[in-house]
């Protein structure tokens, strides 16, 4: 157990639907990062939050949004889902501010049918 909890582990939904992925960072970590791993692709950076504030944004689609709550857990909202959104979504956390020494969760596998 890495200390970063992601729920649900698996999610199957239909095109056009909306889902919410949840991440609880490791205790004490203030930064949360979301990454998407599609088939045969590396992890693509989506967005980062630090202590409730958005700090960096990657190639995140407009249909996707995220937030970090006062208790530091984070949610990634995916709407108007398309088949191409099927992927593994990873959350990672790190202590303090900018840091590359992530602790990753085990991911949420999203399948859009």
Partner 1 sequence: DQQVKQNSPSLSVQEGRISILNCDYTNSMFDYFLWYKKYPAEGPTFLISISSIKDKNEDGRFTVFLNKSAKHLSLHIVPSQPGDSAVYFCAASGNAGGTSYGKLTFGQGTILTVHP
| 84 DSSP assignment | G
Ranges within 30-69 binding partner 1 (CB under 8 A): 31, 33, 35, 40-45, 48, 50, 55-56, 58
Alpha-carbon torsion angle 39, 42, 48, 51, nearest 10: 100
Nearer to partner 1 by Cβ, of 86 and 88: the residue is 88
For 20-45, the DSSP string reads: EEEEEPPTT--EEEEEEE-TT--EEE
Residue 104 is encoded by which pair of tokens? 């990753």
The smaller minimum CB distance to partner 1, of residues 12 and 17, is found at: 12
Task: Report the C-alpha gap between 39 and 18 in whole angstroms.
Answer: 21
- Of residues 86-105, which lie at the interface with partner 1 (CB under 8 A)? 90, 92, 94, 97-105
Does residue 27 interact with partner 1 by CB under 8 A? Answer: no
Nearer to partner 1, 2 or 15 (CB): 2
Q: Which two tokens stand for residue 65?
A: 């949004």
List interacting residues with partner 1 (CB under 8 A): 2, 4, 31, 33, 35, 40-45, 48, 50, 55-56, 58, 90, 92, 94, 97-107
């Amino acid at each position: 157990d890495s200390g970063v909890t992601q729920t649900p582990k698996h999610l199957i939904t239909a095109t056009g639907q909306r889902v919410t992925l949840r991440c609880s960072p490791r205790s004490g970590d203030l930064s949360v990062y979301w990454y998407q791993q599609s088939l045969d692709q590396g992890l693509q950076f989506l967005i980062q939050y630090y202590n409730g504030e958005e700090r960096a944004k990657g190639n995140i689609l407009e249909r996707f949004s995220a937030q970090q709550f006062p208790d530091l857990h984070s949610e990634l909202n995916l709407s108007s889902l398309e088949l191409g959104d099927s992927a593994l979504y990873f959350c990672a956390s790190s202590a303090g501010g900018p840091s590359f020494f992530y602790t990753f969760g085990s991911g949420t596998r999203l399948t859009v049918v």
